[in-house]
Structure 1
C-alpha cells in the first residue's frame, strides 16, 4: 500500500486545510492513464471504491487504478519557500 513521508503528510494536511468544507477531507489521487499520469485533487470524502491511506492525520484517497499502480510506492513532497508543493514517488525499500 502507498505510504507517505512525514513531509508529504504535512503537505497534504496544509493543502486540505486551505480548501473550505474539507476539514476532514483529503487529497484524492486518480489514475488518468499511461499518457496523462495521476491527477490530484482535494476531496471532502473518498469515493465508495477508494482506498484510504492515513498518515499522521493526513488522508489520501486512491481510486482503484491508482491504488494498484502505487501499491509499492512512497509519496514524498518538497516544499518551496513560496509555499508551492512538488510531490514525488519513490519505490518502498
Structure 2
C-alpha cells in the first residue's frame, strides 16, 4: 500500500484546505493518463473519490485517492515532498524500502 510521509501529508492538508471545497472527502487524487506517445503518466488533482478508487488516509487526515490503475502502480511506493529548483514543494515518488 502507498506510504505517505508526514511532510507529504502536511502539504496535502495545506492544498485541500486552500481548495474551494470545504468538504473533508477531498484529497490528492492520482489518475493515469496516456500521452500522445501511448505512454502512461500519473496526473494529480484535488478531488473526491469516485467509485472504485482506493483511498489512503495519512497523518492528520490527509487523503490520497487513487484510481485503480494508479493504485496498482503506487502500491509499493512512498509519496514524499522535496523542493524543486525554485524552492517550492514538489511531490516525489520512490520505491518503498522492502525488508530483505
Shorter-normalised TM range: 0.7 to 0.9
User: 2-side partners of 1:83 and 1:13: how far apart?
Assistant: 19
Name the structure 2 match of 1:19.
Answer: 19
Larger Rg: 2
Matched, 1:31 2:35: no
User: CA RMSD, aligned part only?
Assistant: 1.9
Matched, 1:4 2:8: no
**Count of aligned positions:** 91
Q: Where does the alignment leave 5 or more consecutive residues of structure 1 unmatched? A: none
Task: Check the 8 A contact 1:30/1:40 in 2, yes or no.
Answer: yes
Q: Runs of 4 or more off by more than 3 Å in structure 1? A: none
Matched, 1:62 2:66: yes
